[in-house]
Amino acid sequence: MLQTFQKKFYTNFIEDDRWKYIWEGLGVTLQVTLFAVLLGIVIGFLIAVVRSTYDKTGKLKVLNLICNVYLTVIRGTPVVVQLLIIYFVIFGSVNISKIPVAIMAFGINSGAYVAEIFRSGIMSIDNGQFEAGRSLGFSYAQTMVYIVMPQAFKNVLPALGNEFIVLLKETSVSGYIALQDLTKGGDIIRSRTYDALMPLLAVALIYLIMVIVFTKLVNILERRLRNSEH
Amino acid sequence: MSTNGDVLIQVKEVHKIFHDSLHALNGVSEEILRGEVVVIVGPSGSGKSTFLRSLNLLEVPTTGKIFFEGVDITEKQTDIDKHRQKMGMVFQHFNLFPHKTILENITLAPIKLLKKSKEEAEKQAMQLLKQVGLEEKAASYPSQLSGGQKQRIAIVRSLAMEPDVMLFDEPTSALDPEMVGEVLELMKKLAHDGMTMVVVTHEMGFAKEVATRVLFMDEGQIKEQGRPEEFFENPKDPRLQEFLSKIL
């Protein structure tokens, strides 16, 4: 029993340095996730500004309409399909490395969700804060930057942390464009050794540990923010 | 140079209709003179808060004009932000900035809008804090203050912009009874120092003692006004008589 385990472990991970598929795949997964989240934050922030400006003042009507179309399309279609379209249709005739494509696809996808996180954060700030800023003589933009945004950002930090965790798992479909992420790495080992259990279990375990660790971090952050009076 | 008695704010035939149906202001015309302390009273829903908030355009009138220091601020081209710097406003719920210290709350606008240096703004803020006896709270955050202290800080925050008029929107309504006095004291002091003030309040004692003029609003209109003595002793409008009999 123990011997077969040892043997299987050897063929799946040690032989031909197969552990490298997992290790390098993990690197790709983290890289794609991190940059996609950052891209998502930038896109989400811009959309949230447009949408909440429209909600509060009725300005930016056309931009708001464009943002709504983007949100509807991105949230209404599967991320795998979006990834395939970006890789095979939009960049179909261009020779481009897969990592930036994945970052772009997941970033654009995440941006739609982050936008709603930011928007709810802005809308959760009491309108009195806004009026106090305006009554002192601050413009709409200044009030947003000095008074509303800093408070809203603090409120949404935990939600952004959760978005990172969600995205970490979602990037596991990167294999559809043959990007060798963590999931694909385990799958390659399976195709070499004809043993599905061990490599896929290892992959699942790594995702699980990362999610547990990041969830813990988000919880700590949440508690800190709640305890701090300001 | 402008002196006491000049027209500071002029309101001309202002209507405000909310959501196409609620007629909050129904043709209000009024003048606020420099140096006046005008107290506005009236039942809830009478439009007094809407009237006050339209003076600095937090509520934009549906029709009508408002002039501040001779400038039509309801005109679209007017830079309202510039004029609001000269109109301090104090809210029922204080609206201090919770993410900033008391000192930062007070100095934010003078530094960013009046382009004062940090040192200059802080020096002025500390002087104002000293006047209201809260200088030891400079480094505190709003959440560490009592309601009365918060409201006094909110007043100081407005004063730091050196406004020409102060608008008070029910400044003591959200306070515990034992804290009302300290805020009214500060407002009295301001009035004695010659600040032009427009105050929406239910504190009739304050109106009697401090107001130079009292307005009674009902159904979106100014139904009666006068010096406090005649206003309270000898009300003519039947709605005002009813209102006063209920609260006095």
Does residue A230 have a pLDDT over 60?
no
- CATH 1.10.3720.10 for the A23-159 domain, yes or no: yes
Q: What is the pLDDT of residue A117?
A: 95
- How many angstroms separate the CA of residue A166 from the nearest CA in chain B? 29
Using a CB-CB cut-off of 8 Å, the residues of chain B touching A154 are 99
Interface test with B, best of A129, A136, A153 (most B CBs within 10 A): A136
Q: What is the pLDDT of residue A52?
A: 92
Q: Tell me if residue B240 falls in helix, strand or coil.
A: helix
Could you say which of B81, B95, B158 has the minimum Cβ distance to residue A128? Answer: B95
Q: What is the pLDDT along chain B (248 residues), one digit of tens a residue?
A: 456 779 999 999 999 999 877 889 999 999 999 999 999 999 998 999 999 999 999 999 999 999 999 999 999 999 999 999 999 999 999 999 999 999 999 999 999 999 999 999 999 999 999 999 999 999 999 999 999 999 999 999 999 999 999 999 999 999 999 999 999 999 999 999 999 999 999 999 999 999 999 999 999 999 999 999 999 999 999 999 999 998 87
Task: Note whether A154 contacts B: Cβ–Cβ < 8 A.
Answer: yes
Q: What string of DSSP letters covers B166-234?
A: EEEESTTTTS-HHHHHHHHHHHHHHHHTT-EEEEE-S-HHHHHHH-SEEEEEETTEEEEEE-HHHHHHS
d(CA B105, CA A133): 10
d(CA A40, CA A57): 25
Using a CB-CB cut-off of 8 Å, the residues of chain A touching B81 are 134, 137-139
What number of other Cβ atoms are within 10 A of residue A21's Cβ?
24
Among A113, A129, A25, which Cα is nearest to A72's? Answer: A113
What number of other Cβ atoms are within 10 A of residue A218's Cβ?
18
Could you say which of B56, B100, B143 has the minimum Cβ distance to residue A135? Answer: B56
d(CA A130, CA A126): 7
Q: Are B234 and B240 in contact (CB under 8 A)?
A: no
Among A211, A184, A210, which Cα is nearest to A199's? Answer: A184
What's the sign of the alpha-carbon dihedral A172, A173, A174, A176?
positive
Q: What is the pLDDT of residue A1?
A: 76
Q: What is the pLDDT of residue B2?
A: 55
Asked casually if ipTM beats, i.e. exceeds, 0.90, the reply is: yes
Among A23, A25, A19, A70, which Cα is nearest to A44's? Answer: A70
Total CB pairs under 8 A between chain A and B: 66
Using a CB-CB cut-off of 8 Å, the residues of chain A touching B144 are 229
> What does the block give as tokens for A147?
């008074």
Using a CB-CB cut-off of 8 Å, the residues of chain A touching B87 are 135
SS (H, E, C) A174-223: HHHHCCCCHHHHHHHHHHHHCCCHHHHHHHHHHHHHHHHHHHHHHHHHHH
Does residue A29 have a pLDDT over 80?
yes
What pLDDT digit, counting tens, does each position of A48-86 carry?
Answer: 999 999 988 888 999 999 999 999 999 999 999 999 999
Contact between chains at B143 and A229 (C-beta distance less than 8 A):
yes
Does residue A162 have a pLDDT over 80?
yes
Contact between chains at A230 and B112 (C-beta distance less than 8 A):
no
Cα torsion at A156, A161, A162, A164 (round to 10°)? Answer: 130
What number of other Cβ atoms are within 10 A of residue A57's Cβ?
9
Q: Where does residue B129 rank: exposed (0-12), middle (13-18), buried (19+ CB within 10 A)?
A: buried
**Residues in a beta bridge with B225:** B215
Contact between chains at B161 and A151 (C-beta distance less than 8 A):
no
Among A49, A98, A39, A99, which Cα is nearest to A74's? Answer: A39
Q: What is the pLDDT of residue B1?
A: 44
Q: How many helices (H) and strands (E) does chain B have?
A: 9, 10
Contact between chains at A138 and B88 (C-beta distance less than 8 A):
no
Q: Where are the domains of chain A?
A: 23-159
Task: Note whether A92 contacts B: Cβ–Cβ < 8 A.
Answer: no
> What does the block give as tokens for A52?
């909440």
Using a CB-CB cut-off of 8 Å, the residues of chain B touching A132 are 89, 91, 95-97, 154
Q: What is the pLDDT of residue B3?
A: 65
